[in-house]
A and B are shown apart, each in its own frame.
Chain A
Amino acid sequence: MRFHYKWWGLIFVLPAVGFFVAFNVFPMMFGLYLSFTDYDLLSPPIWVGLDNFVNLWSDRLFRQALLNTLVFVAGATVPVWVLSLAAALVFDQTFRGRDWLKAAFFLPVLPPVAVVAVVWRLLLHPNGVVTSLTGGWWGITEIRWLADAVLAPFSMIAVHDWAVIPFFMMIWLAGLAAIPPEFREAAAIDGAGPIRTFWYVDMPQLRSTAVLVAALSSIGAFQTFALQYVLPNDAGGPANSTMVLALLVLKYGFQYFRMGDAAAISVVMFGMIMTVTLAQLWFNRRA
């Protein structure tokens, strides 16, 4: 029998599919299984059913990490959404020097997150540059941005927002560029001012962009951990005020070797991220 050429398609996709099975699908299933077990890497896993999840709920550190993560997500979504849109509206229209200023504004996207953390660790030194630029006006010479349990979570949010706002501005700009210019011209002829034009002409056209920015920024924030790992003196500190879920996975998994608990937290994280993804799909369908 002749070997039909369509089978070549299968041969072409097999290397990639085989790879994903080995390094994505299998670990996914294995992680789900682990979340129902007690496993310390030494003795074989013991099936405990839903115990890990029940225990998590009474685990104070987990509850704090969950709360910290939710606060971080809120701080990394709402301000980012508003400020990146505002920046996009500034850079959307032509003016002298726009391309250079836009490139300068985009710079925070370039450094890897570890660099962001190291540089801000120095900037946020208690007697450092940021202190002199803010507290200095009132004669304050020391602010413990990263060592104060109340202040530290907000410092994390500020650094994170600084790093991602320019990226989301680019997404808004792409959305704004897709609006046909005739729409705005028609609104101008009808006598609409800039605010009404934005609200009634641009915003409805930007609906899917708005959902996308909200979804991407919150999904990214749920996974945060590098800033919380590098910025404070001890990861997740001070006093666990910056302990987030992804960091707790590392702590339980690779410090305490409680693989079952770590896997259970992973499953919870996955559930939350999945919820955001489904919400995004739902919003887009309604649009």
Chain B
Amino acid sequence: MRKRPVRFLIALALAAVFAFPIWFMASSAFKAEVEIQAIPMHFIPWDFQGWAQFRLAAEIAPMWTYFANSWLYAMCHVVVTVFFGALAGFGFAKYRFPGRTLLFLAVLSTIMVPFQVLVVPLFIEMKAFGWENSYAGLLIPGMMNAFGVFMMRQYASDLPEELLEAARVDGASEFRIFLQIALPLLLPALASLAIIMFIWSWGAFLWPLVIVQDKALNVLSVGLATYTQPYLGQPMWGAAMAASTVATIPIAILFVFFQRYFVKGLTAAAVKG
């Protein structure tokens, strides 16, 4: 490998500028409140606080409840989109039933409508259902993502027809063909979709903000805003950085362990969506 020192230095500068705020966040979570605002900044905590800021963050707001709600929110989105997305994608790819094109276009059109446009009418719909400020209202409306159907249709259409036909001749029911033949073959695609859906739903902000008023139902993204406000007259930046770190860790773990899927999945989502 060529060393290319100039390129290395440019890349180093770029990486430093872009990674700096993340380092600042993570290191500040272990600093005392006065040290966070120290100028010039301390790159490493001089007065290491251990988990104190994390405990404080959980004390001034129900951070772990927020965290659990974020998990619940993300998991609902992942599971429902992956399973029903695969089922519908398989249906669209491998069966020629009347109305197929029309229904698929209807699904596709929902990808083009940004959520910001739906938020007002959807809120009114939830109010009519009596789902306002409840888990049902928080979790159900976004649970199924049209991108999942679109992506799974692409992968399912590559499945060999002969394989399905052979199972059919053997007397397998269509649902069994889906479960025992299609799903196992789609596994890598399902994994990418699961990662994409987790990232998208973990960071969700707008819908949880609008539909939930109760603190106990808040997700971490929305709960975070609490920490930017002074608590008992004192700024709580240490707690804010600790909570921010907690909110970043699940995605960071995905990135570390599934780096290739992560980047591939996200670029594929961008290119195909």
Q: Give chain A's interface residues, CB within 8 Å of chain B.
A: 5-13, 15-17, 19-21, 23-28, 30-31, 34, 41, 87, 90-91, 93-98, 101-115, 118-123, 125, 127-129, 132, 136, 162, 165-167, 170-171, 174, 212, 216, 219, 222-223, 225-226, 229-230, 246, 249-250, 253-254, 259, 262-263, 266-267, 269-270, 273-274, 277
- Tell me if B228 is interfacial: C-beta within 8 Å of chain A: yes
- Tell me if B1 is interfacial: C-beta within 8 Å of chain A: yes
- From B19, B92, B100, B175, A104 is in contact (CB under 8 Å) with B19
B113 x A270 contact (CB < 8 A): yes
- Tell me if B11 is interfacial: C-beta within 8 Å of chain A: yes
What are 15 A-B interface contacts by the 8 Å CB criterion? A8-B174, A12-B91, A13-B149, A15-B84, A23-B125, A31-B121, A90-B10, A96-B1, A106-B18, A108-B22, A112-B220, A115-B25, A115-B248, A212-B270, A259-B120
B224 x A9 contact (CB < 8 A): no
A166 x B205 contact (CB < 8 A): no
- Tell me if B271 is interfacial: C-beta within 8 Å of chain A: yes
**Shortest Cβ gap from B94 to chain A (Å):** 7
B205 x A112 contact (CB < 8 A): yes
A119 x B7 contact (CB < 8 A): no
**Shortest Cβ gap from A107 to chain B (Å):** 5
- Tell me if B178 is interfacial: C-beta within 8 Å of chain A: yes
**Shortest Cβ gap from B108 to chain A (Å):** 10
A119 x B21 contact (CB < 8 A): yes
What is the interface residue range for chain B against chain A? 35 or more
**Shortest Cβ gap from B39 to chain A (Å):** 5
A129 x B22 contact (CB < 8 A): no
| Chain B hits for A20, CB < 8 A | 106-107, 110, 144, 146
B21 x A112 contact (CB < 8 A): no
Q: Known contacts A108-B18, A230-B225: does B103 contact A113 (CB below 8 Å)?
A: no
Give Cα distance in the complex from A246 to B36, angstroms: 33
**Shortest Cβ gap from B110 to chain A (Å):** 4
Q: Known contacts A95-B3, A119-B25, A127-B39: does B225 contact A16 (CB below 8 Å)?
A: no
Q: Known contacts A107-B18, A253-B123, A263-B120: does B8 contact A96 (CB below 8 Å)?
A: yes
Give Cα distance in the complex from A160 to B206, angstroms: 17
| Chain B hits for A262, CB < 8 A | 120
A19 x B14 contact (CB < 8 A): no
A16 x B228 contact (CB < 8 A): no
- Tell me if B216 is interfacial: C-beta within 8 Å of chain A: no
Q: Determine the main DSSP class of A at the interface with B.
A: helix
Can you add 11 more A-B contacts, CB < 8 Å, to A111-B203, A162-B18?
A11-B91, A16-B88, A17-B107, A20-B146, A24-B146, A96-B8, A129-B39, A167-B270, A263-B121, A270-B117, A277-B112
| Chain B hits for A253, CB < 8 A | 119-120, 123
Q: Determine the main DSSP class of B at the interface with A.
A: helix
Shortest Cβ-Cβ A-B pairs, 9 listed? A9-B95, A12-B91, A112-B203, A16-B88, A31-B121, A8-B174, A104-B15, A95-B4, A114-B221
Q: Known contacts A12-B91, A118-B240, A267-B117: does B251 contact A111 (CB below 8 Å)?
A: yes
A98 x B11 contact (CB < 8 A): yes
Interface residues of B in 95-121 (CB under 8 A from A): 95-97, 99-100, 103, 106-107, 109-110, 112-121
- From B41, B96, B202, B237, A9 is in contact (CB under 8 Å) with B96
A114 x B112 contact (CB < 8 A): no
B255 x A16 contact (CB < 8 A): no
| Chain B hits for A97, CB < 8 A | 8, 11-12
Question: CB-CB contacts of B196-227 with A at 8 A, as 1s and 0s?
Answer: 00000011011001100000000011101101
- Tell me if B241 is interfacial: C-beta within 8 Å of chain A: yes
- Tell me if B194 is interfacial: C-beta within 8 Å of chain A: no
| Chain B hits for A250, CB < 8 A | 119, 210
| Chain A hits for B85, CB < 8 A | 16
| Chain B hits for A34, CB < 8 A | 120-121, 124
| Chain B hits for A132, CB < 8 A | 39-41
B228 x A9 contact (CB < 8 A): no
Q: Known contacts A24-B110, A119-B241, A174-B271: does B224 contact A114 (CB below 8 Å)?
A: yes
**Shortest Cβ gap from B78 to chain A (Å):** 15
Give Cα distance in the complex from A226 to B127, angstroms: 23
Residue among B10, B97, B123, B141 with the highest chain A CB neighbour number at 10 A:
B97
B15 x A27 contact (CB < 8 A): no
Give Cα distance in the complex from A101 to B8, angstroms: 9
| Chain B hits for A125, CB < 8 A | 37
- Tell me if B63 is interfacial: C-beta within 8 Å of chain A: no
